[in-house]
Structure formats: structure tokens, C-alpha cells
Chains A and B, each alone.
Chain A
Amino acid sequence: MGYSTLLFLHVTSAFTMVTAAGLFLAIALAQRSERHSATALRLAPVAGILFPVGGLLAIVFGVWLALHDSQYSLGDGWIIAAIVLWVIGSAIGGRISGGYRKMASAGASPDPSALVLNLAFIVTLLVILIDMIYKPGAS
């Protein structure tokens, strides 16, 4: 696969992950009102698919890009930072997704920390985007 195709797949996967974050946040905001709580959970199955698929493909194509292009190296500081942030983001996203799954299947009560987790997830994704654009330390 060529550089352009890999970049397209990497960016599309990142868009998918951000879309999952949007769905997670929408559910968290709706959970604040009891009236919309159950309705909002109808968005959870789609988010539950988009998050792991987008996240996994983003890291796979990202690493592939780094290996494919001689100007990149997996040892570059900004790439290491992105991988660490991706691990943190995946852990947070996984916890959010798991919480919604439990609520939908077992009728568990909303996690009071869901909104904070969602904000942490979005901040992590934003920092990854800043890291990808600014590429700190790249020469």
C-alpha cells in the first residue's frame, strides 16, 4: 500500500474514533436527565462498534505509516507520545463503552463519573491531534 492510501486509512480511522467519542459524549449529556437516559442508550451499540474499530485501525495504520516512510521512525518523540496517548485514550474509551454496555444490558445506574471520563477522552483525542499536526521534535 502506498503512503497516500495508508494516510487516508489512518485519518479515516481517526475520524471514526472521534465520531465514537461524539456518540459517547451525547449519551453522557443525555444521562443527566432521567427522561432521556434510556433513549440515549440507543446510540450506545453504534458507538460500541465505532470505538474499537476506529481505535484499532488508527494505531495499525499509524504504525504502518511510521514503518513505511523513511522520514518517520517509531522512536520519534512525537510518535511515542501519540502511542502513549492512544493507550490512555483507549483505556478511557473502553471504560466508557463498558459502562454504557452494562447500563443497556443490566439496567445499571449511570456512572456519576461518566461526564468526567468523556471530557478526559475528548481532551486526550485533542492532544493526539495537536501532536499529529505539530509533530514536536520532528526535524
Chain B
Amino acid sequence: MTALIIRPDSWNLPLLLHVGGAMALVASVTVAAVALIQGWRTSDPSAAALKRFGARTLLYAAIPSFFVMRIAAEWILSKEGLENSNATWIGDGFLAADFGGLVLLITTIVANVAVRRGPDSGLGKLAKVAASLSVVLIALYVFAVWAMTTKPA
């Protein structure tokens, strides 16, 4: 019942970069979320190291992965001739990517400001906001994977 399983060869590289970028993005946001949440749960000095680690993971791994995923998304859309498509799943993808990109940017800024304000202290309010936002991002990415794989009408 699948309409098209084997796609033209020219679509493979942009799709690989899109999916690979998305996997790296989800992995790095999850690593940051786990580090920040573990830092939240502890009051010992390791909380500061976990906060730093979470903030740096967002900045140096999640943000570059986001760009790879997002640029490759445009590439594969143009290859498929879907730039002007009104398909729901593409709209969902844009929502998850662009709204998610904004949330990712805010999360990264908030986490890194938290590290600057208290490099040797526990999580604090700002880093807790970043931890919460990173969990929201993971939920948004699950929605994006659902939309991209099931392609709802």
C-alpha cells in the first residue's frame, strides 16, 4: 500500500543530511536535557558542571545540527518540487522546525546566560527554565517525526 518506496537517487543525499541532522539534533537536545535535569536533581557541586555541560551541548551540538536539518529540509523540498505545497505534513514539519528553532535558540541563550551568571553554583531558575524548555523541544521533535513518517492528510 506504499505509494513510493524507491525514490530518485538525487533525493538521497539531501534526505540523508535532513534525517542525520534531525537525529543529531534530537540526540544533542536530549543529552542537554538529561544533563540539566540531573543537575536539577542534585545539590552537590556536580550540578554546576552538569549545567555547563548542558548549555555547551545546546550551543555547540544542537544549534549546528538544527542548521544541517533545516537547510537539508529546504533542499529535499526543492528536489521533490514541494516548495509551494499546502500538504498538512509539510506544514507540520515547518511548524516543528521553525517554532522548534525559536524555542531551541531561547533555550540555548537561557542556559548559557545561567552559566555566565553562576558558573560554580547549582542550576538556579534560569537553568531550570532551560531544562523544562528542552523537554518541550523533545516532545515537539516526536511530533515532527510522527508528521514526517505518517504524512497525515
Contacts and interface: CB of A to CB of B under 8 A. Distances in A.
Given A22-B27, A42-B38, A46-B34, A129 B2 contact: no
Interface residues of B, number: 35
State the 6 A-B residue pairs at the shortest beta-carbon distance, nearest first: A22-B27, A4-B150, A8-B149, A39-B46, A18-B23, A19-B27
A12 interface: yes
Given A4-B151, A42-B50, A69-B5, A26 B23 contact: no
B20 interface: yes
A5 B20 CA distance: 21
B150 A5 contact: yes
A89 to B, nearest CB: 14
Interface in B1-47: 1-2, 5-6, 12, 15-16, 19-20, 22-24, 26-28, 30-31, 34-35, 38, 42, 46
Nearest to B33: A46
B60 to A, nearest CB: 11
B46 A38 contact: yes
Contact of A135 (B1, B6, B149): B6
Nearest to A30: B53
B151 to A, nearest CB: 7
A139 interface: yes
A43 B26 contact: no
Nearest to A130: B16
Contacts of A21: 27
A7 B30 contact: no
Interface in B61-86: 61
Interface in B114-150: 141-142, 145-146, 148-150
Given A129-B16, A129-B19, A138 B150 contact: no
A11 interface: yes
Q: Is the interface of B mostly helix, strand, loop or mixed?
A: helix
Interface of A: 2-5, 7-8, 11-12, 14-15, 18-19, 21-23, 26, 30, 35-36, 38-40, 42-43, 46, 69, 71-72, 126, 129-130, 133-135, 138-139
A39 B1 CA distance: 49
B34 A23 contact: yes
B103 interface: no
A7 B150 contact: yes
B45 to A, nearest CB: 9
B93 to A, nearest CB: 14
Contacts of A30: 53
Contacts of A40: 53
